[in-house]
Chains A and B, each alone.
Chain A
Amino acid sequence: MQVKLFDSELQVMNILWEEGDLTAKQLTQILNERIGWNKNTTYTVIKKCIKKGAIERIEPNFICHPIIRREQIQEQETTELIDKVFNGSKSLLFASLLDKNKMSASEIDKLKQIVKDLE
């Protein structure tokens, strides 16, 4: 299964990988201590993880169980790095919402030329 996890989601996953299953409440406490997230923010991220199939929610007490293993993500990140080097693929929040609008090399050159001319 191919799941792309962002840094914020990896923060949650890291804790689950280290500590094993935790309740959402415990997670919010740990993340608050470690990086200062508030409750809402942590829940936002946990929900994202559940949606992506990285975490399974077990009742009662909203226990979070990691479905994806650490190795899976590590392996995936390596392939992605290779992808990035060769294709330059990017997955950004804005890119999906708004038009992809990467500047071409010639446009960059043009801008640099403007700087040079006006120097």
Chain B
Amino acid sequence: MSILNMSVDASLILIIVLLMRMLVRNKVPKQTFLILWGIVAFKLLIPYSFYSKLSIQPMLKNLFVTPTHSNGSENLLNTIEIAQTSSTFYHQLLLVMTSDFVQYLWICGGIGVLLFFILAYVRFYKEFKTAIPVKNNEYLDQWLKDHKLTRTIQIAVSDRISTPLTYGIFKPVILLPKSTNWEDAASIQFILTHELIHIKRFDVLWKVILTIMVALHWFNPLVWLMYFLVNRDIELSCDERVIRQFGDKAKSAYALSLINMADETYTVTSFCNHFSKNGIEERIVSIMTLKKKSVLGTAFACTLVIGGMTVFAATGQESPTLKEDKKRNAVIVTDTSNSTTEPRVITTNKGKERNAAIVTDASNSTTEPRVIVTNEE
């Protein structure tokens, strides 16, 4: 099942990004991690076989890693995996994973997760729609005039939300809680700027992609962790932009206005108390430790991104050693007259010494390598 392969592949780079985030979260521009998460998401969502055919992939490979010959299509390698009779746990697991039952389970789980998100969204969306649009508020009208986008932004007030939020991709609406202190112009300006950045960056769309990712990889706890962290990092990088806009001096005021908002309200963002409380603390620290853009910071960020690309390029195909391993463990025969894409597997490990070879037919010009077997006993 290739989704499992994808999940395992991406988990490696995911863990690396996770560690980097722990170590240098407040030392680089917050955008950096959004890019790194983007790389992980790409790996999780786009099957390797899909983009390996594009020229970008080999190009990246040549740039960052010593070239290894990558023959043998995904399909073939998968078949080899299935053909394993090796007793290692991983291979046993793979065998189980390819069974119909597990695939069925995977699909059901994915649909379940997706349904949960969709139902929650519909419910909230209906509720948000009943908010009351603000009319004839001089300050807000002026602000909207000053910040025109191609999409019209609407501002509405609701007594059913506790923190400001934005919904809608094409007709974005900024929802403000009724409890907003309208006297506090500075805070309102912070809020609006923050939400405007979300709108400009199409963050709602990104969250949709994230949701699809979690639905596909629902069995992978790391992907769930990533889901929560990306949601946080979206906020953090949004905060960063606000500060860049208002200047370093605004840091304390901005942080305090966030705390005051949290003070008046319940936290909405997560399913788990500990998580969200940590979340706001992380946010406050992140804002207060924001540094001015520096050459060093940017250079470091670039290094991280390039590193991420390298790992991206290096994983996803079988490493040479693994390939060797597999060659020793399986014997594959494809009938030369057989034109189907499925290679047939005839025998596996004979004797104590597992010696088999895969020979690709050199004259074969199709993408599907044909395999001839020599079984040396």
Q: Which residues on B sit within 8 Å (CB–CB) of A111?
A: 259, 262, 280-281, 284
Cβ-based interface call for A85 (8 A): no
B residues within 8 A CB of A44? 126, 129-130
B115 interface residue, CB < 8 Å from A? Answer: no
From A90, A93, A95, A101, contact of B276 by CB (8 A): A101
For window 76-118 of A, CB contacts with B under 8 Å fall at: 90, 92-95, 98-103, 107-108, 110-112, 114-115, 118
Report whether B268 and A7 are in contact in the complex, using a CB–CB cutoff of 8 Å.
Answer: no
Contact A6 B255 (CB under 8 A): no
Given contacts A35-B132, A112-B259, contact A90 B266 (CB under 8 A): yes
User: How far is it, in angstroms, between the C-alpha of A34 and the C-alpha of B328 when the chains are bound?
Assistant: 76
A23 in contact (CB, < 8 A): no
Q: Which of A7, A93, A101, A119 contacts B288 (CB 8 A)?
A: A119
Contacts A40-B129, A103-B267; A115 near B159 (Cβ below 8 A): no
B266 x A119 contact (CB < 8 A)? no
Nearest chain B CB to A84 CB, angstrom units: 11
Contact of A99 among B255, B263, B273 (CB under 8 A): B273
Q: How far is the CB of A6 from chain B (nearest CB, A)?
A: 6
With a cutoff of 8 Å between Cβ atoms, the chain A residues found around residue B133 in the complex are: 35-36
Distance (Å) between the CB of B235 and the closest chain A CB? 15
Instruction: Please tell me if B149 contacts chain A, counting CB pairs below 8 Å.
Output: no
How far is A95 from B163 in the complex, measured between Cα atoms in Å?
12
CB distance from B140 to the nearest CB of A (A): 15
- List B contacts of A6 (CB < 8 A): 130, 159-160
Q: Is B25 part of the binding interface, using a Cβ–Cβ cutoff of 8 Å?
A: no
Please provide the chain B residues from 256 to 305 with a CB less than 8 Å away from any CB of chain A in the complex.
Answer: 256, 259, 262-263, 265-268, 270-273, 276-277, 280-281, 284-285, 288-289
Residue contact A94 to B161, C-beta cutoff 8 Å: yes
- Let me know if A62 is at the binding interface, CB within 8 A: no
Q: Are A98 and B158 in contact (CB under 8 A)?
A: no
From B158, B266, B285, contact of A101 by CB (8 A): B266
User: Are A37 and B130 in contact, CB atoms less than 8 angstroms apart?
Assistant: yes
Q: How large is the interface on B (under 10, 10 to 19, 20 to 34, 35 or more residues)?
A: 35 or more
Could you say which of A37, A93, A103 contacts B160, with CB atoms under 8 Å apart?
A93
| Residues of chain A lying within 8 A (CB to CB) of residue B271 | 98-99
Residue of A nearest to B127 (CB): A93
Q: Are B160 and A100 in contact (CB under 8 A)?
A: no
* A80: min CB distance to chain B, Å: 12
The complex places the Cα of A64 from the Cα of B131 at a distance, in Å, of 21
Tell me the residues in window 28-67 of chain A with beta carbons closer than 8 Å to chain B beta carbons: 35-38, 40-41, 44-45
B162 touches A94 (CB 8 A): yes
Q: Which of A7, A102, A107 contacts B132 (CB 8 A)?
A: A7
Closest to B273 in A: A101
Q: Could you tell me the distance in whole angstroms from the C-beta of B147 to the nearest C-beta in chain A?
A: 20
Which residue from B130, B159, B263 sits with its C-beta under 8 Å from A45? B130
B252 at interface, CB cutoff 8 A: yes
B130 CB to closest chain A CB (Å) equals 4
User: Which A1-18 residues have C-beta < 8 A from chain B?
Assistant: 6-8, 11
Task: Give chain A residues whose Cβ lies under 8 Å from the Cβ of B161.
Answer: 92-94
The answer to the question of B178 belonging to the interface, with a C-beta cut-off of 8 Å to chain A, is: yes
Q: How far is the CA of A99 from the CA of B273 in the complex (A)?
A: 7
> Chain B contacts of A110 at CB under 8 A?
281
B162–A115 CB distance below 8 A: no
Kindly state the separation between the CA atoms of A40 and B289 in the bound complex, as whole angstroms.
Answer: 46
B residues in contact with A40, CB < 8 Å: 129
Chain A nearest CB: distance from B166 CB in Å? 16
Q: Is the CB of A95 within 8 A of B266?
A: yes
A114/B284 contact (C-beta < 8 A), A11-B132, A36-B133, A93-B160 known: yes
Minimal beta-carbon separation of B144 from chain A (angstroms): 15
* Cα distance A111–B276 in the bound complex, in angstroms: 13
The 5 A-B pairs at the shortest CB distance, nearest first, are namely A118-B288, A8-B130, A93-B160, A41-B129, A7-B159
Sample (25) of A-B pairs whose CB atoms are under 8 Å apart: A7-B160, A36-B133, A37-B130, A41-B126, A41-B129, A41-B130, A44-B129, A44-B130, A92-B160, A92-B266, A93-B124, A93-B160, A99-B273, A100-B266, A101-B266, A102-B266, A103-B262, A103-B277, A108-B259, A111-B262, A112-B259, A115-B256, A118-B285, A118-B288, A119-B251
